[in-house]
Amino acid sequence: MPAITVDDILTLPRIPSPDPVVMKERPVRSVTSAPAALEGEGFPVRRAFAGVALSDLDPFIHMDQMGEVEYAPGEPKGTPWHPHRGFETVTYMIDGVFDHQDSNGGGGRITNGDTQWMTAGAGILHIESPPEFLVASGGLFHGVQLWVNLPRANKWNPPRYQDIRGREATLLTTEDGGALVRVIAGEVAGHKGPGSTFTPITYLHASLSPGARLALPWPADFNALAYVLAGQGSAGAAGRPVGTGQLAVFGPGDFLSLAASPRQDSHIPYMEVLVLGGLPIREPVVHYGPFVMNSKDEIIQALEDYQAGRLGRIPAASMPHRHPGDADLGSEVR
């Protein structure tokens, strides 16, 4: 799991340990296990938020852990061209390579800790696919796609694209150097990450050494979630066990904590965790396929607008795709 690493972790700024006398630790409210499914043309994903109420996820809608999978030659899969409206997709690539193109002129190649941030707003079409050389060679593939909702006031904004290179992430560590924290968006202890959002959020990837503890100050008005990409450990003061493919939802408070088990599987050197939260939007959410709106009427309008070509057109110079037909919007196309 390369993502972005650092030669000497002790050169990084330290996150001060929250003082439990003056700050309240967030309790763990639930731990859920992500079911496995197949996405797009058939790549394996874990639905990280399955079984969790939208009110606990707000302002997030959906998160897929894509892989980790070792593809044989000819096997890597992507998505067909498909639309989005009403939210932002945030794709963080840990291993492997993913190409992206959209109908608004955005796009590029992400790999090794890069993030692409696509604000669908009023409407966009896009395609996500491994490059041809990776399809030919096969290889390791591991990434995460997060959906961040837009408030009603921003759902009709023009689309926008942010390309965030892995080395732009803000790197931090704990007082004892036991954890590497990569801040992708938002801020931790005053250290800001590069991603810019309409809804305030914090999104980070932490790697905890065996036995390490990570305590993060967290805005009291944000929700707080921790998803374990790999490894074993615990969440919260009570030491609730969490492991690969599990999501911890934290209750109210000023900071949260995670700890890696002293012993990890030999092929997984660190406990890898995504920690995320944001300011809840608290508006009605109607989610159908690739659209996230405030009402059923707006979903019907999105379907009509897509059929009429008002969400964008596939560019003449489209990157290669193996399923040139329309996406089946009733299926789980992301």
User: For binding to Mn ion (CB under 5 A), which residues are involved?
Assistant: 334
Cis peptide before 59 (omega within 30 of 0): yes
- Closest distance of CB 126 from Mn ion, Å: 6
Report the C-alpha gap between 12 and 177 in whole angstroms: 9
- Considering the complex, state which of residue 120 and residue 188 has its C-beta at the smaller distance from Mn ion: 120
Give the pair of three-digit tokens for residue 14. Answer: 């330290």
Chain residue at closest Cβ approach to Mn ion: 334
Cis peptide before 68 (omega within 30 of 0): yes
- Considering the complex, state which of residue 56 and residue 99 has its C-beta at the smaller distance from Mn ion: 99
What stretches of 41-181 show up as alpha helix (H) in DSSP?
A: 54-57, 132-137
Report the C-alpha gap between 263 and 233 in whole angstroms: 9
- Considering the complex, state which of residue 120 and residue 183 has its C-beta at the smaller distance from Mn ion: 120
DSSP notation for 15-29:
EPPP-TTTSPBPPEE
- Closest distance of CB 159 from Mn ion, Å: 12
- Closest distance of CB 118 from Mn ion, Å: 8
- Closest distance of CB 91 from Mn ion, Å: 9
- Considering the complex, state which of residue 84 and residue 182 has its C-beta at the smaller distance from Mn ion: 84
Closest CA to 229 of 258, 201, 254, 262: 258
Report the C-alpha gap between 334 and 329 in whole angstroms: 9
- Considering the complex, state which of residue 71 and residue 87 has its C-beta at the smaller distance from Mn ion: 87
- Considering the complex, state which of residue 103 and residue 170 has its C-beta at the smaller distance from Mn ion: 103
Give the pair of three-digit tokens for residue 285. Answer: 């959410």
Report the C-alpha gap between 174 and 154 in whole angstroms: 36
Give the pair of three-digit tokens for residue 52. Answer: 């969790």
- Considering the complex, state which of residue 118 and residue 258 has its C-beta at the smaller distance from Mn ion: 118
Report the C-alpha gap between 6 and 165 in whole angstroms: 15
- Closest distance of CB 160 from Mn ion, Å: 15
- Closest distance of CB 306 from Mn ion, Å: 13
Cα–Cα distances in angstroms (integers) from residue 110 to residues 42, 65, 164, in the given order = 20, 16, 9
Give the pair of three-digit tokens for residue 88. Answer: 């932002």
- Closest distance of CB 279 from Mn ion, Å: 24
Check residue 296 and report its DSSP letter: H
SS3 264: coil
C-alpha count within 13 angstroms, C-beta hemisphere, residue 224:
24
- Considering the complex, state which of residue 142 and residue 334 has its C-beta at the smaller distance from Mn ion: 334
- Closest distance of CB 128 from Mn ion, Å: 6
Closest CA to 235 of 250, 220, 217: 250
- Considering the complex, state which of residue 193 and residue 290 has its C-beta at the smaller distance from Mn ion: 290
Going through 107-231 in order, the beta strands assigned E by DSSP cover 107-111, 115-119, 124-129, 139-149, 160-164, 170-174, 179-185, 187-188, 191-192, 201-208, 213-217, 224-230
- Closest distance of CB 36 from Mn ion, Å: 19
